A and B are shown apart, each in its own frame.
Chain A
Amino acid sequence: MMKSSPALLRNAVFLAAALLVAFAPLPLPQTPPAERTFRIDATQFAFAPAVLTVNPGDRVTIELTSLDVVHGLYLDGYDLQISADPGQTATMTFVADRAGSFRFRCAATCGDLHPFMIGKLHVGPNTLLWRSIGLALLAMFAAVMLGMPRLRKA
């Protein structure tokens, strides 16, 4: 029992560090929710702009205008869909209450490359990337530290 306790402690420290990196709330400046309107032009086979960035809590309006054939927009995660004929702008409005990155894609078959007609909505800064880099570094460090005593014993 006594012997294993330093190892246990070390493991606990690593675990705590990992949890911290993964889930600790960042001291980000909290932006007050705002109204945001995006005008997206849809053509075969792209959205312009294809990447939207908003802050969590923002009230987002997307105006979809088609410049050639009927296109649609389906927003993953929020499960919202609109479709627009050229000349008839379609709008969707929602509150970005779910943080993360969500894909949106064309919701009306518009030709051969229709499946590749995609875009992205970022709600909040993309901390996922930094957190995963942090976790990877931590894992490497942990592997080195935990491997050490065994090396010595050998």
Chain B
Amino acid sequence: MKKEWLARLLVLALVVGFSAAALYARWADRTLEVHAAMPEKGGWLPNTLTARADEPLTLRLISDDVVHGFAIGQSDQQPSVDILPGKPVEITLLFDKPGTYTYYCTRWCGPNHWRMRGTIEVEGDDSSLANDPSGPVAPPLYLMLGIDLDAPHDVQVDVTRQPSARRGAALDTNLPAEMLSREYVRAHSPYEVWQTLRETPAASPLSDADLWDLVARLWERSTTPDALQTGAQLYAQNCATCHGTTGAGDGVFAAALAGETSATPISPGLGHETVAPTDFSDPAHMLGASPALLHGKIIRGGMGTGMPSWGLIFTDEQTWALTDYLWTFTFQFQFKETTP
């Protein structure tokens, strides 16, 4: 009799013990599942996550349809990972500062791909913020200059040939010293600089077209081959779908944006007007825009025009690299893109 009771007790203990262990394992495994789907079908699920500063956050990324990617905006702590359907991937993130972070899809999963974003709220004691060495972030240049991003900036210009930085460099004209600074270039449109040059006595023997070459040279001087290379890469990954590989505004999704028929129309439910992507090779449009304006537009986006806002995705350095690169479509720089 006693033995039977013992056996029963043993079985009971085993059953209870095993289930408790399984439950504990589940509870202890703090891996969060994040599903990725095309934005029309819900995008990220969930699209808000919470974490604590200095505590690892493990995510299990699962694609429910096509190829997606995952990265954290304005940070390189997590290199972009691909999320292939049927092959979940696990990543572990560690945030050392509290704040709001953006995660976004890095593979084009449809015309609305760029809408696929989510936020991670990282909590922590504010003391870690106080001794943040990077200090408060300066507002973008367009705000400091008071530029209205939505004011039309087209100019009537008569450029008979594409302005060339090489020809400009060959002219060997003494340019006013103030123009040689990067800050000057960023705050002015090429047209404004051209007009100022036209009134400079030193430039009076030069033709109008020569002056445009000088302006192109000034713009080239304000950037570096490294920045242009970074810009070229970011542009190919994020912008060419709409603005086209040659900057002419003829990317594969341009027709869908302009409201023409397309296999995958941009979902009207997501709210946007039908505007064609900007043609960066059109002088009338570009020569009236300052780099600060373009930079601002990249940060803020078109607010419903189909131009995404990138402020939460790129670092300020990356945004300037993109801005610099956009000018290669307008001006001939002596820059040759190297393909990796």
Contacts and interface: CB of A to CB of B under 8 A. Distances in A.
Interface string A89-115: 100000000000000000011110000
B84 A88 contact: no
Nearest to A83: B67
Given A87-B236, A89-B245, A66 B252 contact: yes
B7 interface: no
A144 B58 CA distance: 74
B308 interface: no
B109 interface: yes
B85 interface: yes
Contacts of A68: 110-111, 263-264
A24 to B, nearest CB: 46
Contact of B253 (A44, A86, A108, A111): A86
B71 to A, nearest CB: 14
Interface string A60-100: 00000111111000000000000101111100000000000
Q: Specify the main secondary structure of chain B where it touches its partner.
A: loop
A85 B65 CA distance: 15
B263 A69 contact: no
Contacts of A87: 108, 236-237, 239-242, 245, 251-253
A89 B244 CA distance: 11
B289 interface: no
B263 A109 contact: no
Kindly name the residue among B108, B241, B245, B253 whose own CB sees the greatest number of chain A CB atoms within 10 A. Answer: B108
B53 interface: no
A150 to B, nearest CB: 59
A70 B66 CA distance: 7
B86 interface: yes
Contact of A70 (B86, B108, B240, B253): B108
Chain B interface size, as a band, is 20 to 34
A108 B108 contact: no
B166 interface: no
Interface string B44-70: 000000000000000000010111000
A81 B274 CA distance: 36
B252 A67 contact: yes
Given A70-B107, A70-B109, A43 B240 contact: no
A106 to B, nearest CB: 11
Nearest to A67: B252
Interface in A5-24: none
Q: Specify the main secondary structure of chain A where it touches its partner.
A: loop
Nearest to A110: B66
B41 to A, nearest CB: 11
A69 B38 contact: yes
A69 B108 contact: yes
Contacts of B111: 68
Given A87-B245, A89-B245, A110 B67 contact: yes
Given A86-B252, A89-B245, A109-B86, A69 B236 contact: no
A24 B107 CA distance: 50
A89 B252 CA distance: 10
Interface in B143-194: none
Contacts of A86: 108, 241, 251-253
Contacts of B109: 69-70
Interface in A32-72: 43-44, 65-70
Contacts of A44: 263-264
A83 B107 CA distance: 11
Nearest to A68: B264
Nearest to B263: A43
Contacts of A108: 66-67, 84
A42 to B, nearest CB: 10
A107 B102 CA distance: 30
Nearest to B240: A87
Contacts of B237: 85, 87-88
Contacts of B239: 87
A85 B107 contact: yes
B263 A67 contact: yes
A109 B68 CA distance: 10
A154 to B, nearest CB: 63
Interface of A: 43-44, 65-70, 83, 85-89, 108-111
Given A88-B240, A110-B66, 11 more contacts: A65-B252, A66-B108, A68-B110, A68-B264, A69-B109, A86-B108, A86-B241, A87-B239, A87-B253, A88-B108, A110-B67
4 closest Cβ contacts across the A-B interface? Answer: A87-B241, A109-B85, A87-B240, A70-B67
